[in-house]
Amino acid sequence: MINSKELLEYTKNLSILFVEDHDELRTSTDSILKNFFKVVTSAENGQEALKSYLNHTQENDGKFYDIVLTDIKMPKMDGVELTKNIYEINPSQALIVLSAFDESKYLLPLINLGIEQFLKKPLDFQELLKILLKTSKKVTNNAPSNITNTIKLNESFTYDRESKSLVNYKENIYLTKYEIIFIQLLTTNLGKIYSNENIVANYLTYDETIDAQNIRKLVSKLRKKLPEDSLESIYGVGYRFIPFYE
């Protein structure tokens, strides 16, 4: 469970814009956000959110919202169009997208725009707080300085990017060259979704070729070596490692 005091350390001076057209979810989430953030603004559609974004910037001497948290499917202006508009104003905006299971067709355009953080609906509030902690650390530049190449995939599995080794407790798990290339890419930015196009392009940098069908085969074999549910496939979009939170 997320440590609320730790989250508050990072969020207490931050601002967030929350965009959600479902009244009940918007109200309940707004109440939670106000426990942590200095400034919370809620909007019920992308058009209203963009207006709030511009107003906030003007009223705060050009300072943008620290974080934007938005739904995808909304009236007047959806989350994809809102994201495009915000990135045109502020390309480095920290932006988290809420996505229902049946909205996968929207994810690829968002990935192409540069979105890294997605949250699934129905919303798990513990998962929301975890993502907010990670994003707030990034925004405030207070992430731990002892960055390591060793990535925890669960309580016992680790992957070392330098030695390219997968270990379960003290047991080394054999990885093929193609599996290593795949894992190296997906652990470059843990939690980010990499499309088939990203993956194919990455293999070409190693003078290797792979297509969508063989990516699926590779993932199927790799899952037998990895901890359960650590590697996520998003139909028609791509793949990512699920961040492990201790």
Single-letter code of the amino acid located at 61: D
Domain 4-140 has CATH 3.40.50.2300: yes
- pLDDT score, position 188: 81
Domain 150-241 is of which CATH architecture?
A: Orthogonal Bundle (1.10)
Residues 100-153: pLDDT tens digits?
A: 755 566 677 777 777 767 888 888 888 888 889 988 988 887 444 444 578 888
184 by Cβ neighbours in 10 Å (0-12 / 13-18 / 19+) ranks as middle
- pLDDT score, position 1: 65
Question: Which tokens belong to 36?
Answer: 């942590």
Number of H helices, E strands in the chain: 9, 12
Max intra-chain CA distance, the chain: 57
Question: Which tokens belong to 166?
Answer: 């997968």
DSSP state of 34: T
What's the rounded Cα separation, in Å, for the pair 100 and 84? 20
- pLDDT score, position 143: 45
Q: Along the chain (246 residues), what's the average pLDDT of each consecutive run of 10 residues?
A: 81 94 92 94 94 90 90 88 89 86 65 75 85 88 55 90 90 94 87 84 88 94 93 83 74
Nearest alpha-carbon partner for 123 in 160, 143, 98, 140: 98
Query: Phi/psi zone of residue 184: left (φ > 0), alpha (ψ -120 to 50 degrees), beta?
Result: alpha
Q: Do domains 4-140 and 150-241 have the same CATH topology?
A: no
105 by Cβ neighbours in 10 Å (0-12 / 13-18 / 19+) ranks as exposed
Indicate the domain borders of the chain.
4-140, 150-241
129 by Cβ neighbours in 10 Å (0-12 / 13-18 / 19+) ranks as buried
